[in-house]
Structure 1
Amino acid sequence: MANERQARLADRIKVLIAERLEKGLRDPRLGFVTITDVRVTGDLQHASVFYTVLGSEQERNDTAEALRAATGMLRSEVGRRLGVRLTPTLEFIADGIPENAGHIEDLLREARERDEQVAGLAASASYAGDADPYVKAVEADED
């Protein structure tokens, strides 16, 4: 039951924060933010909010600072609209999904290139010895 409540609370917090960010904060540092996930602790006292930012490294840093500055305001709005007795603390964590996905894409591209090289070598390869090195029963009888 606690896990269901955690999941419902996390989903609701995700929606509330996303709606508030969509309306916009009065902070010019805030970039194009996407809330990817929210995880709430078992005692419902702390929420980790994962987000991604579209843009350069500077824009990501500026957005992190803007979210850190707006944490109190976002928490009070979440508490007001959530309707629970104790409002969880919010912690904004930059999600590493885009960087990990880029790294995985690079690894897959490298593996594909190596597979193509191996296939090219295999196509032009010849046997080191006879094409069929095994002695067949018919050949053994003939000798």
Structure 2
Amino acid sequence: MAKEFNRSDRIGDAIQRFLAQIIPQELRDPRIGMVNINDVRVSRDLAYAKVYVTFVGSDESTSLEGTAALNKASGFLRSFLAKELTSRSVPRLQFIYDKTAIEGQELSSLIDRAVAKDRDRQEQREEPDEH
């Protein structure tokens, strides 16, 4: 039977929790703002970690600037991780802007509009003609 969580998953969860705490406390870059860390994927050899982020209340261009600022500060954040993690090596961080939340909201909005349109058509069919 396979293990429920492998080591890279556990380290990814620890990195996610730690970055969620340390980014608002230590980074003073105004381009970053409020960051949500959606997921952290650590490579099997624990050398690299892809950190998927979204920015609260930001458009795509501002979010891309924030992602660039996080990538620039990745070495600084990695040094904080080295103090926190008990592993021998600390993965290199790569921040990636995650559009899935925004795309999910857009799809949900499209579905809501389609359902409302169908409901309106159904109501028009059910209304009797007054001739």
Q: TM-score, normalised by structure 1?
A: 0.76
CA distance, structure 1, for counterparts of residue 17 and residue 51 of structure 2: 11
Q: Deviations over 1:92-125 (max 9, x none)?
A: 0111133112221222122212321331244148
Residue-by-residue CA offset, 1:43-102 (whole Å, 9 max, x unaligned): 222111111101232431331122021011111221221121121111101111331122
* Cα distance in 2, alignment partners of residues 2 and 122 from structure 1: 53
The partner residue of 1:36 within 38, 57, 81 is: 38
Unaligned runs of 5+ in 1: 126-143
Q: Which residue of 2 aligns with 1:23?
A: 25
Residue in structure 1 matching 2:50, options 43, 48, 51: 48
1:96 and 1:27 mapped to 2: Cα distance? 22
In structure 2, the partner of 1:71 is 74
Offset at residue 26 of structure 1 (A): 2.9
What is the alpha-carbon distance in structure 1 between the residues aligned to residue 72 and residue 53 of structure 2? 15
| Alignment root-mean-square deviation, CA | 2.2
- Which residue of the partner structure matches residue 89 of structure 2? 86
Structure 2: where are the runs of 5+ without partners?
Answer: none
Corresponding residue pairs, total = 126
Describe the SS at the equivalent of 1:84. Answer: coil
- Kept after mapping to 2: 8 A contact 1:2/1:42: no
Partner of 1:117: 120
Structure 2 counterpart of 1:105, from 105, 108, 118: 108
Measured against aligned partners, the alpha-carbon deviations of 1:15-44 in whole angstroms (never above 9, x if no partner) come to 111111121313222211111111112222
Q: Give the superposition deviation at 1:10.
A: 0.6
State the TM-score, normalizing by the size of structure 2.
0.82
Provide the identity percentage. 33
In structure 2, the residue matched to 1:8 is 10
